[in-house]
Amino acid sequence: MSGEAGIEPITSEEELPPNVSGTNNNGTSNVSGGGSSSNNGKSLVIPITTSTNGNNFNDSNKDGLFIEIFPEEISSVRPTTLTKVLRDEQAPLTTWCDASLLYMKAKREKEGCDLINAAADSEDVMSGSNNQDRLRVLSSAGIAALAQANKQTEGGGGGGGGGDAFDNIEAGETSKTTEANEKEVEELRALADARFVKADNINQVNPMTWIGRGMLNLANNKYDQARFYFENLTLGQYGEILPALIGMAAVKYLEKDFKGAQDLYGRAMTKFPVQSGAAARVGFGMASYRLGQTDRAKAAFRRAHEIDSENVDALVGIAVLEMASLDEVLDAREYRAKAENVIKMISMANLVDHTNAMVQNHLANHYFWKWTPVPGMAKAERGSDVVQGSMASSLEPGDIIRIGREFETLVVSDDNDMADDNSFKIKDNWKFDSTSGQKIWKKDYDRVVSLAKGAYNSTNIPEVQAESLYMLARVYHARGDMEQANKFYEKACKHAPELSPARFGLAQTLIWDEAYDEAAAHLRLLLGTCSNATDALAALGLLEVRGGKDRREAFVYLKKAIDLDPFNADLVLIEALALQQHESDYSQALDRYRKALRLLEAQSKPVPADVLTNMGVLCHETKQYDEALEMYGKALNVVDADAGTDATEEQKEVLVRHKDNSLFWDYSKTNITVKVSDDDNRKLIVSSDADIDSLGVKVGDDISLEGGAEASITEISKEGGGSIHILIDGDSELSSGEKSLSVKQGNRKLHNLSSISIAFNLARAHESAGRVVPAVELHKAIVKLHPSYVNSYLRLACIARDCGSLKECAEWLKSAVAVAPGNPEVLTLVGNLHLSLCDWAPAQKVFDQLLAQKNQQVEAYSMLSMGNIYFNNLNTVGKYSKHLQYAADFYRRILQKDNANAYAANGLGSVLAEKGKLLEAKEVFNRVREVSGDTIADALLNLGHIYLAQKKHPEALQMYLSYMARTQSSGAQITSKSQEDDEAEVLQYIAFAHFDWARQTELFNDVKAAPADERYKKCIEYLEMAMKKSKRENILLRFNWCMAKLQAANCVLQKVNRNIRRTAQEVKDALTGLEESLPIIQTMIQWKQEKRKVPIQSSMLTDFVSQCKHNIDSAKGHLNEELRKEQDAQALRDIQRMDAEASKKSNEMKASLDKEKEAQEEEEREKRAQDKMARVANLTEGWKTAEIAAKKEKSAKKKKGDAPPGGVDDEGGIFDTDVAAADTSALFDDSDDDDDDDDAGDADAAKKTEAETSTQGEQATQKDLFGDSSDEEELETENPKKRSADDDEADSEQAAKKAKVDEEEQD
């Protein structure tokens, strides 16, 4: 309507809508109250103040004429016409405001704004009115301008009118319409501000102006200033006014104070239940939704819809909440009913406002998932990719369709035009039984695109535009147009960085484009806003594993995703896929696959063939070959079931017969019954009378008899009696009786294209398990059925090469080249074959051809091979520096593109070592070992060379031996030669390390040179091992062996000068080695004279012979000398031995005599002890007898009378014993028996000591009893005359007492 500014002026009332003029029934004017329509609020009443001829009525308007416009009619009234009428009739300013408000309510913001601005700009209209009316007009004009600006912001300036906006965004340019629209919005806001300034000039304390200013600041996102006008001024000065309450609620909502916003909306609805209308309910519902109060939000939206059935926000709110609650519905019918109701509400909102971008986005999302039925019925044949149906003309290539309820596929273009216009081609073969009358649905992506484009053009809000761009990106993504999808995903992320689905889609397209680092960065941004996004966590974990930067962090992401959704088999499969990227994690990956398999089976979901194939490959890599065969078998069954075709007669041909390939054949029962011949266990007699041709079996067929016996038919003949005899071979024992016969027939598995990769993996498993025959059989069957499958040609070539048949290998490679002339893998294998034969020029030609193709997959390998070719040809005359530089250039080019290529780094290290930069080369090789985890064995070999050049022989030997162990365990060739030649070459390196170590040790030229001999022996030992490994006679290797023998002999001969002991055997061995070496070198000299190729200079050979002869002569002299020395040493050793034996016998005799003497002395001591014990026994017995006699005598005396006073009787009783004094003296004599003569001489002295005190007697007795006499006692016994004078006096007193006792007894 804004484009109708130049219409003709109104000249009569007939140009106005019907019923716009008139009076009420009572004839009074309806200006104050206005007429009201039935349901649309107050009407607009314009009093007529002029006549039709231009004359003015009197002021009282006696006729009471007026113009009345009802709300439902305002949409048909042109703003210019109404403006003309209002100006002509000199309508008051309030009428202008009411007219503008009527347009606003009819959602014609631009017309209302134009109308009120016309009044505000007209001096005629504004003059003559009071300040209050002018304030209202100015404030209303400002608010109307803001309303129109908001409409422009939300609706994009006219709801799709700016068609170039989306076109420009597709082209990646800035929309001119968008810029113009933004400029218009700014102009409207500036106009509103100008109106408010004018209003402030009239009255600064006007709540309507404050509310307008608050709205302006709110639109400019100045929330603090908006709060000042709404809360501090309006609500603070004039109390709760509806616009101020709603404005303040909007401020709090935008500040994310949803509780405060909800309270203010509630206060507005409570105080102004009618005037607040649907807008306040919608605001209340939005705040409630943000607070998680879904039921209150839904009730608020429903109430808003009841108040205003065309309120789009209310309709969308209800639809969104109902859609969110669909997941809680379990009943299918209820679910469908609610879903249909949701779509109806969204469609109704679109009818009400077809420019609402939010509604259009919701509809686009609905149609993205919806299957739209296609008119007509389709017919599909089992195993066919052609579908017949009348709807073919309505389908285009790229359409995603669904045939029936389960089969989804893609319509593809056919290179050959269909013979029938009612047919179209699909991507996948129909896997079900042949059928007709099938319904077809398709995805109506064109409608999705139209709605999304309309939504984008209908708004200027970045977040809503991002939703539209996301919908478009999804459509292109589903159609497989990744470039367009990537572009729109990226635009969506720029418009709304927090739109997680768009960022995840962008990451997916970047992964497709192999921009892994960029994809990982976007996934991290996504997780920053949505940390529990399981798909993003899983994808990021997989990318981190692929990048190899932080595997631990990668599996943290994967574990978190699985913890959030533990029953999601897809997440477990992603973790398994991540684990299988590294060889060390193959076992864990296999466990994860098994877990995913259990989850899928528990959820009754089919297991994809790819998953089973991956499990088979992992079992193969972990050497679980039986389980690998089981997995491959399951994968073949899944593919076979999906194929949905029966085996044809052609497919029943048996191409593989080996029992290990039983997955590709079956035994089919026949109607033939046979019995085993009694004469020959290998002959079968057919029981029926059938002819040979009708039997259904032929010579060469494999058969199975009832009971499990298997055999092959070697001959079929018909005997004279008409019976058919079948001769078979085989090892099974056949029992008698009739048996049914089954014949081996092929199945369709090898004929299915989807099964070929699985069959190839199965053949590779046979190879790894050592089953070469079934592997070759299966590869040959694959190339026969699918001649273009190059991988089997290559494997057959590799098997032939490994078996030593290079001619057959070349034939298979020729076949591969004929099938795929430019195939990089074929050319690579051809180049490797030339390298293995050391055919450098043809190999260089092949790899040059590969480099010319600029194929990223083989470019690095080709450059590496070229570098190796140049490095291996450094000995070319005059091209050493050139070839070395070329090799270095190729290695550097690889590292510039991939700095983690360990093979190129190893080559560059070799170049540095060749240039003499040993420290730098060593650092490079060590880095290669760290990066590759010692998987590159060449790094060990090169480090060994470095250590050897640095004279670090133990470290060099350790590297060489580690290298040998690694290459032998892996079975990989270490150079371009055969495995045996490679090992022979490394053994030479080890031998030279020992040789050089021995020569370095000999430099000491003293006792420290002793280990050199042993190291020469080690050198010779490894050289002999190398000669055994080498398949052909190696002249240079034999010369090295002779040279080692010569040096070893020199070392032995020099031991004398170095003060090192040697033996005659050592000299003899040295002489033997020299004598063995001399004829070999002489033979080489003869070959040299015969012009045969000997890669050793004649001078070296001549010098060797002369030195060898001299050493032989010297060795003979040394041997004689050593033999003489050994003879002399032997004689000396014999004499020393005899002396030692004599000395030993003498010592033994002396020891024997000493032992006899000792035994005799022991015997004598024992005899003396026994004598003493006998004396003790006699003494004891005498004491007892004396005691008895004393008692008897004492009792007799008592009978005679009392004893005299003085106790003489008692004293005499003490010494009254029957023991002789001589005996007592002899008993206590401590002298030995050897002193008897002395005892006899001293008999008188002994008698004088008979009266010793009782105490001395007891002590002497105890000493004799226990044999404790000491040396001092013996001395006293031997020298009795040395007793002291005191002892003599004691003896005299004792003798006097005894004499007195004797006298008394006589009395």
At 305-343, the pLDDT tens digits run 899 888 888 888 888 888 887 766 567 778 788 888 888
Q: How is residue 233 annotated by DSSP?
A: I
SS3 712: strand
Angle at 63 between CA 58 and CA 68, to 5 degrees: 110
Least confident of 25-29, 705-709, 792-796: 25-29
Residue 504 pLDDT > 90, yes or no?
A: yes
CA atoms within 13 A on the CB side of 153: 16
Q: Which amino acid appears at position 1129 of this protein?
A: A
Structure tokens at 575: 């973790």
CA 1174 to each of CA 154, 1171, 1264, 1272: distance values in angstroms, whole numbers, following the listed order: 142, 5, 11, 24
Least confident of 367-371, 393-397, 575-579, 1062-1066: 393-397
- 1153-1170: burial string, b at 16+ Cβ within 10 Å, e else: eeeeeeeeeeeeeeeeee
Q: How far apart are CA 255 and CA 378, in angstroms?
A: 58
User: What is the reported pLDDT for 1211?
Assistant: 40
Which one of 8-12, 87-91, 808-812, 1239-1243 scores highest in mean pLDDT? Answer: 808-812
Compute the average pLDDT of residues 656-674: 81
Q: How far apart are CA 988 and CA 1039, in angstroms?
A: 12
Structure tokens at 919: 């420290």
The residues, any chain, with a CB within 8 Å of residue 653's CB and separated by 6 or more, are: 746
The answer to whether the CB of 86 falls within 8 A of the CB of 137 is no
Residue 299 pLDDT > 90, yes or no?
A: yes
Rg over CA atoms, the chain: 61
User: What is the reported pLDDT for 888?
Assistant: 92
User: What is the reported pLDDT for 107?
Assistant: 76
CA 727 to each of CA 687, 735, 1142: distance values in angstroms, whole numbers, following the listed order: 15, 15, 92
Confidence of residue 854 (pLDDT cuts 50, 70, 90): confident
Over the chain, what is the mean pLDDT?
Answer: 79
The answer to whether the CB of 1000 falls within 8 A of the CB of 1019 is no
Least confident of 491-495, 740-744, 939-943, 1050-1054: 740-744
User: What is the reported pLDDT for 1284?
Assistant: 47
Give the pTM.
0.60
Residue 1097 pLDDT > 60, yes or no?
A: yes
Structure-token match 């080709």, residue found: 862
Structure tokens at 622: 């972990």
User: What is the reported pLDDT for 522?
Assistant: 92
Least confident of 975-984, 1122-1131, 1265-1274: 1265-1274
User: What is the reported pLDDT for 6?
Assistant: 27
Residue/partner pairs of 490-498 with CB below 8 Å, 24 or more apart: 491/169, 491/466, 492/466, 492/467, 493/466, 493/522, 495/462, 495/463, 495/465, 495/466, 495/469, 496/462, 496/463, 496/466, 496/467, 497/525, 498/529
Residue 940 pLDDT > 80, yes or no?
A: yes
Compute the average pLDDT of residues 405-427: 75
Q: Where are the beta strands (DSSP E) in 1008-1088?
A: none
Q: Nearest to residue 702, comparing CAs of 737, 736, 655?
A: 655
User: What is the reported pLDDT for 592?
Assistant: 93
User: What is the reported pLDDT for 721?
Assistant: 61
Residue 1025 pLDDT > 70, yes or no?
A: yes
Q: How far apart are CA 702 and CA 710, in angstroms?
A: 7
User: What is the reported pLDDT for 419?
Assistant: 52
Compute the average pLDDT of residues 179-194: 82
Q: How far apart are CA 698 and CA 685, in angstroms?
A: 15
CA 322 to each of CA 262, 298, 327, 337, 479: distance values in angstroms, whole numbers, following the listed order: 21, 8, 10, 11, 30
User: What is the reported pLDDT for 4?
Assistant: 31
User: What is the reported pLDDT for 1295?
Assistant: 59
- Rounded to 10°, the helix 806-819/824-836 angle is 160
Least confident of 444-453, 694-703, 1132-1141: 694-703
User: What is the reported pLDDT for 1031?
Assistant: 66
Task: Number of helices (H) and strands (E) in the chain: give both, helices first.
Answer: 52, 14
Q: Nearest to residue 108, comparing CAs of 176, 32, 159, 182?
A: 159
Residue 766 pLDDT > 80, yes or no?
A: yes
Least confident of 303-317, 685-699, 963-977, 982-996: 963-977
SS3 129: coil
Structure tokens at 807: 């001619």
Q: How far apart are CA 466 and CA 468, in angstroms?
A: 5
The answer to whether the CB of 964 falls within 8 A of the CB of 986 is yes
User: What is the reported pLDDT for 36?
Assistant: 31
Handedness of CA 969, 970, 974, 976 (dihedral sign): positive
pLDDT above 70: percentage of residues in the chain: 81
Q: Which amino acid appears at position 1146 of this protein?
A: S
Q: How many C-beta atoms surround the C-beta of residue 1220 within 10 A?
A: 11
The answer to whether the CB of 312 falls within 8 A of the CB of 289 is no
The residues, any chain, with a CB within 8 Å of residue 106's CB and separated by 6 or more, are: 71, 74, 75
**Which helix (H) or strand (E) element contains residue 861?**
helix 856-871
Beta-bridge partners for 380: 387, 435
Confidence of residue 505 (pLDDT cuts 50, 70, 90): very high
pLDDT tens per residue across span 1155-1203 = 999 999 999 999 999 999 998 999 999 888 988 988 888 888 766 555 4
Residue 851 pLDDT > 70, yes or no?
A: yes
User: What is the reported pLDDT for 161?
Assistant: 40
Structure tokens at 746: 């092929």
CA 914 to each of CA 373, 887, 921: distance values in angstroms, whole numbers, following the listed order: 74, 11, 9
Handedness of CA 540, 542, 547, 550 (dihedral sign): positive
Q: Which amino acid appears at position 736 of this protein?
A: S
H helical segments located in 370-499:
445-457, 462-479, 482-495
Q: How is residue 423 annotated by DSSP?
A: E
User: What is the reported pLDDT for 1216?
Assistant: 42
The answer to whether the CB of 731 falls within 8 A of the CB of 737 is no
Task: Give me the DSSP letters along 386-412.
Answer: EEEEGGGGG--TT-EEEETTTEEEEEE
